[in-house]
């Protein structure tokens, strides 16, 4: 069944879009990720304009993270103070992201920056995850027990000024790295159409040393509100949020996530991380190939003014 998208101004097969939302939702439930980094490329590769794909996925991420936030809220596994300070950074980063997005769009280099960023970030993070999960699997096979985290371990981040106490996370750190981290994730999320959980969670654990039971809820809470801000900034700035596309993706996504979450319970953590690492690397590679091989068509056009601009 064909459905006309009011903002993208093209008809799409609603079942294909619904299926994509469902498939990515399944993977996000399986791995406990937002899935924006999979959904945005899928939409771009299937012919939705990149600007519409990025902006619309920010809305979809709001839906997928809000259902999880409710669960973590009930379990009281969110550090509200930490999340709020991350969020201040996130909104700032998102605002800068939308402005840069429009500048890049007008000079015709938006697609290039999206591709390059995907290659860089997915390549780096996929590589790290692959390395880490292979090591974990080896260690499990050889029967060695992983080293426990030493309490009171410090790094350079803990030497920065403007320290604040986060009771829930049992932390006493400077707000500078917290705002900075929020801003970087908000900025990337807005430009790339990703929630950024797969970058936020490791950063909170390894850089700020937030306890693992608090990390996911806090990260989701901050992603929810940063992406809500990104949706509003995109609506006002680039005007490329397609509400019909977003709704279709959301419904497919939340249903798929339920099945994914159930299946994820039957798989080992390190195996899951290995699969996720391969997935992340695969998407990054796909973007790299497009940048390196000679394109079929050297020319492209973009409407700048008038009907449909």
Partner 1 sequence: MRWGAFLLLVLTAATGAARAQDAEEDLVTSLSSNTVSIQSNFTGTEIVIFGQAAPVNHQPDTPGGYELAIVVEGPPQDITTRRKGRFLGLWVNRDAERFQNVPSFYAVASTGNISELGSSRLLDELGIGLNHINLAVSGSSNVALSDRDDFRRAFVRLRREMGLYSEQPTDIRFLTDTMFRTNIPLPANIPVGDYEVKSFLFHDSELISRTEQTLQVAKIGFEQLSFELAQNYSLVYGIIAVALAIFTGWLAGVIFRKD
Nearer to partner 1, 146 or 295 (CB): 295
Rounded to 10 deg, the angle between the 80-107 and 175-192 helix axes is 40
Which one of 6, 159, 269, 282 is in contact with partner 1 (CB under 8 A)? 6
**Shortest distance, CB of residue 99 to partner 1, whole angstroms?**
15
Nearer to partner 1, 257 or 277 (CB): 257
Helices within 193-242 (DSSP H only)? 197-206, 212-236
Interface with partner 1, residue 3, by CB under 8 A: yes
Interface with partner 1, residue 47, by CB under 8 A: no
**Shortest distance, CB of residue 17 to partner 1, whole angstroms?**
13
Which one of 30, 43, 228, 279 is in contact with partner 1 (CB under 8 A)? 228
At a CB cut-off of 8 Å and minimum separation 6, what does 59 contact? Answer: 227, 231, 241, 243, 246, 250
Helix, strand, or coil (residue 21) = helix
Helix, strand, or coil (residue 88) = helix
Which one of 130, 136, 184, 255 is in contact with partner 1 (CB under 8 A)? 255
Nearer to partner 1, 153 or 300 (CB): 300
CA distance 286 to 289: 5
Which one of 39, 178, 194, 250 is in contact with partner 1 (CB under 8 A)? 250
What element of type H or E holds 3?
strand 2-4
Please give the residues from 277 up to 296 whose contact with partner 1 meets the rule CB under 8 A.
290-295
CA distance 233 to 228: 9
81, 168 Cβ separation under 8 angstroms: yes
Helix, strand, or coil (residue 287) = helix
Interface with partner 1, residue 190, by CB under 8 A: no
Residue 212 CB burial class (10 angstroms; 0-12, 13-18, ≥19): exposed
Residue 19 CB burial class (10 angstroms; 0-12, 13-18, ≥19): middle
Q: State the binding string over 111-150 for partner 1 (x if CB under 8 A, else -).
A: xx---x----------------------------------
Interface with partner 1, residue 10, by CB under 8 A: yes
Q: Which stretch binds partner 1 (CB under 8 A): 83-91, 187-195, 242-250, 270-278?
A: 242-250
Nearer to partner 1, 9 or 267 (CB): 9
User: Residue length, the chain?
Assistant: 309
Place of tokens 């949020």: 241
Interface with partner 1, residue 232, by CB under 8 A: yes
**Shortest distance, CB of residue 207 to partner 1, whole angstroms?**
28
Interface with partner 1, residue 301, by CB under 8 A: yes
Closest CA to 242 of 4, 22, 1: 4
Which one of 59, 94, 169, 226 is in contact with partner 1 (CB under 8 A)? 59
Place of tokens 């806090």: 218
196, 187 Cβ separation under 8 angstroms: no
Interface with partner 1, residue 207, by CB under 8 A: no
Binding site for partner 1 (CB under 8 A): 2-4, 6-7, 9-11, 59-60, 62-71, 74, 108-109, 111-112, 116, 224, 228, 231-236, 239, 241, 243-244, 246-247, 250-251, 254-255, 257-258, 290-295, 297-309
């Amino acid at each position: 069944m064909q459905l006309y998208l009011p903002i993208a101004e093209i008809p799409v097969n609603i079942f294909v879009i619904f299926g994509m939302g469902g498939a990515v939702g399944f993977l996000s439930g399986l791995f406990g990720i937002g899935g924006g980094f999979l959904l945005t490329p899928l939409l771009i590769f299937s012919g939705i304009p990149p600007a519409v794909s990025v902006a619309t996925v920010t809305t979809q991420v709001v839906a997928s993270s809000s259902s999880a936030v409710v669960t973590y809220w009930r379990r009281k596994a969110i550090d509200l103070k930490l999340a709020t300070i991350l969020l201040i950074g996130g909104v700032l980063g998102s605002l800068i992201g939308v402005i840069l997005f429009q500048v890049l769009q007008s000079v015709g280099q938006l697609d290039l920056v999206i591709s390059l960023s995907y290659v860089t970030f997915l390549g780096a993070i996929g590589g790290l995850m692959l390395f880490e999960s292979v090591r974990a699997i080896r260690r499990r096979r050889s029967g060695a027990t992983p080293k426990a985290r030493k309490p009171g371990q410090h790094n350079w981040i803990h030497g920065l000024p403007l320290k604040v106490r986060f009771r829930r996370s049992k932390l006493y750190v400077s707000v500078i790295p917290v705002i900075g981290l929020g801003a970087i994730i908000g900025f990337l999320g807005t430009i790339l159409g990703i929630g950024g959980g797969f970058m936020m969670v490791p950063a909170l654990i390894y850089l700020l040393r937030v306890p693992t039971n608090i990390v996911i809820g806090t990260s989701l809470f901050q992603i929810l509100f940063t992406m809500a801000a990104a949706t509003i900034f995109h609506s006002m700035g680039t005007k490329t949020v397609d509400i019909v596309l977003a709704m279709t993706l959301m419904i497919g996504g939340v249903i798929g996530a339920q099945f994914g979450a159930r299946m994820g319970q039957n798989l080992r953590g390190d195996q899951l991380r290995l699969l996720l690492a391969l997935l992340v690397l695969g998407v990054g590679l796909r973007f790299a190939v497009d940048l390196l091989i000679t394109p079929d068509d050297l020319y492209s056009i973009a409407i700048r003014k008038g009907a449909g601009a």
